Amino acid sequence: MDLTLTPAEEKFREECQVWLDAHVPREWHDPALREALTTGKEIAFLKSWQHTLHDEGWIGLTWPRQYGGRSATLMEQVIFNQAMACAKAPPLINVLGIIGLRQPSCAMALRSRSNATCRTFSTPKRSGVKAFQSRMPGQTWPP
């Protein structure tokens, strides 16, 4: 298996590194600040970081451009994840979700419906997935 990056992938990696160098919050690298953060302040900090990533299209990389993504390839997603790790960027808030559910305040927030949640399902082939529907006011899935 040849994992040598193509010239386009090299250019993408450079774009990721330049953007992360300019946008990763420097205070995240200060252990004293991170240790002093309360759970609520840490969540607010990480939400802010996630909004920054979203505004530039770094969230949902593989999503089509018309839905806010970058229509990235799987390799570009791997490159971005490696660049995030190398930059020691803050984690995405959803990475902390399972850990956060152990906190009573997070579990209480979920029960009070103050946060939106999503459950995904894995099904075998030919299991009637076409019958699955989800509704929001004025919308139906599948379209």
Domain annotation covers residue 128: no
Task: Report d(CA 38, CA 103) in Å as an integer.
Answer: 12
In a domain, 121, yes or no: no
Answer whether residue 116 is part of any domain.
Answer: no
Taking alpha carbons only, the member of 66, 61, 63, 80 closest to residue 15 is: 80
1 within a domain of the structure (yes/no)? no
Number of folded domains that form the chain = 1
- CA dist 69 → 56, 60, 72, 132 (Å): 9, 5, 8, 25
Indicate whether 81 belongs to any domain. Answer: yes
Check residue 94 and give its pLDDT.
Answer: 65
pLDDT at 82: 96
Q: Residue 102 carries which side chain, given as an amino acid letter? A: R
Residue 84 has a pLDDT of: 95
How far is Cα 57 from Cα 44, in angstroms, rounded to an integer? 20
pLDDT score, position 3? 83
What is the reported pLDDT for 22? 96
> Is 142 part of any domain?
no
Low-confidence ranges of the chain (pLDDT < 50): 98, 101-102, 106-117
| 63, 91, 93, 102 from 98: Cα distances, Å | 24, 13, 10, 7
Is residue 138, in this structure, part of any structural domain at all? no
pLDDT in tens, 50-85: 899 988 889 888 888 888 889 999 999 999 999 999
**Could you give the CA distance from residue 32 to residue 92 in angstroms, rounded to a whole number?**
21
pLDDT at position 108: 47
Q: What is the CATH number of the domain that holds 55?
A: 1.10.540.10
Q: What is the pLDDT, as a whole number, of residue 87?
A: 95
Q: Please give the residue range of the domain that contains residue 13.
A: 7-105
